[in-house]
Chain A
Amino acid sequence: MNKVLLIIQREYLSRVRKKAFLVTVFLVPVLLLAMYAVMYLIYKNSSELNAIRTVKVLDETGQFAGKMQNKSTIKFEDVNKPLTAARKDLKTHKDDILLYIPKDYESLKSIQLLSEKKPNITVSMAIERQLNDIATNNNMIARGIDTSKIKDVKSNISISAKEVTDSGDKESNVGALYGVGVAGAIIIYLSLFIYGAQVMRGVIEEKTNRIIEVIVSSVKPFQLMLGKIIGVALVSLTQFLAWIILSVVVSYIANKYFNAPQSPMLGVFASLKGVPFGYIVSCFLFYFLTGFLLYSALFAAVGSAVDSESETQQFMFPITMPLLFTYLISVTFLAQNPDSTLAFWLSIIPFTAPVAMMVRLPFDPDPWQVGLSMGLMVIGFIFTVWVAARIYRVGILMYGKKASYSELVKWFFYKE
Chain B
Amino acid sequence: MLSIRNIVKQYAGHRALDDVSLEVPAGQIFGLLGPNGAGKTSLIRIINQITAPDSGEILFNGEKLNQSHIERIGYMPEERGLYKKMAIGEQIVYLARLKGLSNAEATRRIKNWFEKLQIQDWWNKKVEELSKGMQQKAQFVATVLHEPDLIILDEPFSGFDPGNAEVIKNEIIELNQKGATIVFSTHRMESVEELCSSIALIHKSHKILDGRIKDIRNSYRNATYVIEYSGNALSLNGNQPFTTIDETFSDETHTLRLKLNEGATSNDVLQYLIPQVSVNRLQEIIPSVHEIFIKQTK
Question: A: which residues have CB within 8 A of B?
Answer: 3, 6-7, 10, 14, 205-206, 209-211, 213-219, 397, 399, 410, 414-416
Contacts and interface: CB of A to CB of B under 8 A. Distances in A.
B85 A214 contact: no
B98 interface: yes
26 contacts: A6-B98, A14-B85, A209-B81, A209-B82, A209-B83, A210-B79, A210-B80, A211-B80, A211-B82, A213-B50, A213-B75, A213-B80, A214-B82, A214-B95, A214-B139, A217-B50, A217-B73, A217-B77, A218-B70, A218-B95, A218-B99, A219-B98, A399-B79, A415-B52, A415-B54, A416-B51
Nearest to B70: A218
A205 B127 CA distance: 14
B86 interface: yes
B107 to A, nearest CB: 15
Contacts of B75: 213-214, 217
A6 B84 CA distance: 19
B12 interface: yes
Contacts of A214: 75-77, 80-82, 95, 139, 142-143
A20 to B, nearest CB: 12
Given A210-B79, A210-B81, A399-B79, A215 B98 contact: yes
Contacts of B82: 209, 211, 214
Enumerate the 10 nearest inter-chain pairs by beta-carbon distance, A residue then B residue, closest first: A210-B81, A416-B52, A218-B98, A213-B77, A209-B81, A217-B75, A217-B48, A210-B79, A410-B12, A211-B81
B204 interface: no
Interface string B78-119: 011111111000000011011100000000000000000000
A414 B79 contact: no
Contacts of B52: 415-416
A6 B83 contact: no
A215 B82 CA distance: 10
A389 to B, nearest CB: 14
B142 A216 contact: no
Nearest to A213: B77
Contacts of B11: 414
Contacts of A219: 98
A210 B127 CA distance: 13
A199 to B, nearest CB: 16
Q: Chain B's interface: helix, strand, loop or mixed, by majority?
A: loop
A414 B12 contact: yes
A399 B94 CA distance: 25
Given A205-B84, A211-B82, A217-B48, 17 more contacts: A7-B98, A14-B85, A14-B86, A206-B83, A209-B81, A209-B82, A210-B80, A213-B79, A214-B77, A215-B98, A217-B49, A217-B73, A217-B75, A218-B98, A397-B50, A399-B79, A416-B51
B5 interface: no
B212 to A, nearest CB: 28
A416 B12 CA distance: 13
B50 A211 contact: no
B169 interface: no
B137 interface: no
Nearest to A206: B83
B259 interface: no
Nearest to B11: A414
A7 B85 CA distance: 16
Contacts of B94: 6, 10
A84 B297 CA distance: 115
Contacts of B85: 14
Nearest to B51: A416
B45 A397 contact: yes
A406 B227 CA distance: 61
Nearest to A219: B98
Interface string B42-58: 00010011111010000
Nearest to A224: B98
Nearest to B80: A210
A398 to B, nearest CB: 10
B175 to A, nearest CB: 18
B80 to A, nearest CB: 5
B84 A209 contact: yes
Contacts of A416: 51-52
Nearest to B49: A217
A15 B99 CA distance: 23
B77 A3 contact: no
A102 B263 CA distance: 143
Most buried by B among A218, A415, A416: A218
A304 to B, nearest CB: 14
B104 to A, nearest CB: 15
A100 to B, nearest CB: 75
Contacts of A205: 83-84
B8 to A, nearest CB: 12
A290 to B, nearest CB: 28
A327 B215 CA distance: 71
A198 to B, nearest CB: 14
Contacts of A215: 95, 98
B95 A6 contact: no
A218 B152 CA distance: 13
A414 B10 CA distance: 9
Contacts of B45: 213, 397
Nearest to A409: B12
Question: Which of A7, A209, A214, A219 has the most chain B CB atoms closer than 10 A to its own CB?
Answer: A214
Contacts of B97: 6
Contacts of A213: 45, 50, 75, 77, 79-80
Contact of B98 (A3, A209, A210): A3
Contacts of B80: 210-211, 213-214
Contacts of B54: 415
Contacts of A3: 98
A225 to B, nearest CB: 14
